[in-house]
Structure formats: structure tokens, C-alpha cells
Amino acid sequence: MSEYNALIAAATKVRENAHAKFSNFKVGAALRTPGGKIYTGCNVENATYGLTVCAERVAIFKAVSEGERRFDAIAVVTDTDKLTPPCGACRQIIWEFCGDVPVVLANLHGKTETLRMNQLFPKPFDSSNL
């Protein structure tokens, strides 16, 4: 049993709540704190697409809005054959709020891959650049 099974299950479940009536590309994300609490998020689309919010950012903003500040892993689930990594905006937010955490990519067919954020975002812009 993988240490990320609960994260993948939570992301898979919340994916069904996605508001993706334009692209029909539903994404679920689950974020875990060091204490084991899980926060979830799904993508919420808008007709202009530019105002769409990705699942990863929804999960992070939800956790932060409830006072959480430390995280140790995030999972992203889509219904694709090729696993889908976070977009550039999400990579920036994940780095700033979660640091070099494991990012678990999964699909609905049981395929998974775990990468660290430094692999997905090798030269991040953060407070050390200010």
C-alpha cells in the first residue's frame, strides 16, 4: 500500500465535482499536511478560460484559508492515459506554499508517478529572489 493512496483516493473523488463544462477536462487535487489532514480541490472553469482556477490552486488556497501553512505532498488526478502534471501557474503556487514536496500524478486506470517539485520546477522564483 502506497503512502499516497489516501491522497489519490481523495483527489479522484473530488475530481467528480469539477466544473469543466467547456473543456470537459476534470481534475482533482489533494494536499496533505504533516499531521495527515487532507484538503481537496477541483478545477473550476469559466467561459473566458483565463478566470479558470486549477484543482491544485483550489486545494492550496482552501487549506491556507483554514490556517494551514505546512504541507508534505500533493496528488493530481485526471482521466488521461498520459499523466498530467501541474501547469506553470500551479507549479509556482505549489513551490511557494509547499516547497519541494512530492507531487503524485495519477489517472483513473491506476497509473501513477511521483516526482519532487524540484524536478517539475527546477529554477523557481521565490522570496530568495527578492
Residues annotated as catalytic are 56
CB atoms within 10 A of CB 33: 15
Cα–Cα distance for residue pair 52/65, rounded to 1 Å: 19
Alpha carbon separation from 8 to 17, 28, 70, 105, 123 (Å, rounded): 15, 9, 19, 8, 27
19 vs 36: CA distance, rounded Å: 27
Looking at the DSSP bridge assignments, the partners of residue 97 are none
Separation of alpha carbons 27 and 49, rounded Å = 15
Specify the residue for cell string 501553512.
69
